[in-house]
């Protein structure tokens, strides 16, 4: 039987992971391994040389899961290193409460858990719902359905090395369809709040450059689901020629 690993960053008891796990069961056997608590915005954190407690959790539908007191990437790493059967056919991460578009993907534990799957050589899909107040399993129904459609193709076709897919779904019960997109540009509006020696980063929700056609933010802003292929090679190829002209003692080949 095909085996699917499901994780997230909102925590093992979040409604989005339950919706995702239930949907993925239509494609194969599902194991859920996820952070014990909300690890949103934890980035690609990996816990090394530090204890990582695990426990068994029961989801709201009575199914069991593994709860990890670590980061989303830790969940995938410990699964790969022997906690669970390995490899799965696919790692699916989400469904995140809130979109992960533009530069969000570097902060997102949802996306970085998928990237960890790619590092361990398994095709991976990150799924996010562009709705910050999605608090019921029903809120995630459409995103879960789209995740099944994309995951089925990934399982049939595979993905290139070090490549994941990033699926973002607009709020609501329908979309205008699916767009293949490139990573767009978020605009953050962070505000530093200070109480004596205690700092807090707050402020309004981020926005983005919604008019850049063909981007993730452009598509979701217009009611389309967005699918972006993401690569772990972050080299700025367009800057290499200019950088070569710097006076930094580079050895010529």
Under rule CB under 5 A, residue 216 binds Mn ion: no
Give the total of residues touching Mn ion (CB under 5 A). 4
Under rule CB under 5 A, residue 116 binds Mn ion: no
212 close to 185: Cβ distance less than 8 angstroms: yes
Query: Looking only at residues 46 through 105 of this chain, which bind Mn ion when binding is defined by CB under 5 A?
Result: 96
Structure tokens at 229: 């292929």
* Residue 172, Ramachandran bin (φ over 0: left; ψ between -120 and 50: alpha; else beta): left
Taking each helix axis from N to C end, the angle separating 15-24 and 141-157, rounded to the nearest 10 degrees, works out to 50
Minimum distance from CB of 171 to Mn ion (Å)? 15
Task: Give the integer Cα–Cα distance in Å for 145 and 199.
Answer: 40
Under rule CB under 5 A, residue 139 binds Mn ion: no
Dihedrals phi, psi of 16, to nearest 5 degrees: -65, -35
Strand partners, 67: 34, 55
Q: Which of 6, 18, 22, 40 binds Mn ion (CB under 5 A)?
A: 40
Minimum distance from CB of 10 to Mn ion (Å)? 4
Task: Give the integer Cα–Cα distance in Å for 68 and 53.
Answer: 6
Nearest to Mn ion of 89, 134 (CB atom): 134
Under rule CB under 5 A, residue 31 binds Mn ion: no
Minimum distance from CB of 186 to Mn ion (Å)? 15
Under rule CB under 5 A, residue 112 binds Mn ion: no
Q: Which stretch binds Mn ion (CB under 5 A): 9-17, 145-153, 157-165, 166-174?
A: 9-17
Residues forming contacts to Mn ion in the complex (CB under 5 A) are: 9-10, 40, 96
């Amino acid at each position: 039987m095909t085996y699917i690993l499901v994780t997230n960053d909102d925590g093992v008891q979040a409604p989005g992971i339950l919706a995702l796990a239930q949907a993925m069961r239509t494609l194969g056997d599902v194991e859920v391994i996820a952070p014990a608590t909300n690890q949103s915005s934890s980035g690609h954190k990996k816990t090394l040389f530090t204890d990582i407690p695990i426990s068994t959790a029961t989801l709201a539908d009575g199914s069991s899961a593994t709860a990890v007191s670590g980061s989303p990437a830790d969940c995938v790493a410990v699964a790969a290193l022997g906690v669970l059967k390995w490899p799965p056919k696919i790692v699916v991460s989400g469904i995140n409460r809130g979109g992960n578009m533009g530069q969000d993907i570097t902060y997102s534990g949802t996306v970085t858990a998928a990237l960890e799957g790619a590092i361990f050589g398994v095709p991976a899909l990150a799924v996010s719902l562009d709705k910050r107040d999605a608090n019921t399993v029903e809120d995630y129904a459409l995103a879960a359905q789209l995740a099944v459609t994309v995951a089925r193709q990934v399982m049939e076709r595979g993905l290139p090395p070090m490549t994941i897919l990033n699926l973002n779904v607009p709020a609501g019960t329908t979309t205008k369809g699916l767009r293949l997109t490139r990573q767009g540009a978020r605009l953050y509006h962070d505000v530093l709040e200070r109480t004596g020696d205690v700092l807090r980063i707050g402020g309004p929700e981020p926005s983005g450059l919604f008019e850049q056609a063909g981007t993730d933010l452009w598509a979701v802003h217009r009611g389309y689901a967005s699918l972006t292929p993401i690569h772990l090679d972050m080299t700025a190829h367009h800057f290499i020629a200019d950088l070569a002209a710097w006076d930094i003692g580079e050895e010529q080949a």
